Structure 1
Amino acid sequence: MKPASAKEIRDELKHLEREELLEIVQRLARFKKENKELLTYLLFDAQDEEEYKLKVKTELDEEFIEINRSNFYYTKKSMRKLLKNVKKYSRYSGKKETELELLIYFLQKMDNFKPSVQRNKILKNMYDRQLDFVKRNMEKLHEDLQYDLKMELEKLSGT
């Protein structure tokens, strides 16, 4: 079954009553964890972006502590999972500055990680790709934000 386009869905939603809309949103929240997380962001966190970034950073801190450092396979797998989460949380926000700030924070955590990610080719490549992504996308932001994020980037040992 082919899903309807975003425009078709938007047009159809305009014709629904308030109660019907609430029912649809509640059903969406039941089906996928990402839907529920996005609704949580939109309802509770979208008003205060700084608080949202702080929550994500706190969660990252906790997950970095829990990484299994004894086996490289699990370390690599955990790092990829953390990066995937950072990208997911950034997508919920939809703001470039939030995405870049969270990525820079992730890179700082990687940079301070022991054993060093610079010694491992796979983790080093992941680090470098994200660093390049941040540098490329910083140019699209306002000059003041660019300056603030450049200051954060300079703290990383690889730059």
Structure 2
Amino acid sequence: MIQQKALDVSNRLADNFRWSTGRRNAFRHSYWMGLMTVHGFTYDDAVTLGVAHEKDTDTQGELPGSADSNADLHNNSVGARIGVDVRPWYVAATGVGATAKHEKELEDRLMLMVGGGVPGRGPAAPEKGPASYISVCTRDGWLIMIEPGK
């Protein structure tokens, strides 16, 4: 359910704002892990699931250790950390009670990082290769956007 929500929201936003594939993917990964932690998963559990997700591929260019996979892992970590920050104390204590308000705060903070509806990309991330771009740097850090096939 959480993964599907992350996919649905990222697709809706990407369609509304004409995001590139890399921007959509960066938002999706970070939002997915953020939703997990907002709803009571620990940061470590969310990141561990993200690692397992990255290992479960045989697609060239997305294999563990590739620039794409490393970007996904970075984005997962950022989203999980923001989710922990957004999550109300009682969810951490009981595992229940996060609301649409908390999900919206997570979404808003990630939207700032990917530039929201503003087209364009941040500077290239040289350590990730020429096809990677760092999103807008905010108080939460930045995401890495990699365009496939470049």
TM-score (structure 1 length as normaliser): 0.32
Rg: which structure is higher?
A: 1
Instruction: Name the structure, 1 or 2, with higher relative contact order (CA <8 Å, separation 6+).
Output: 2
- Which one has the bigger helix percentage? 1
TM-score (structure 2 length as normaliser): 0.33
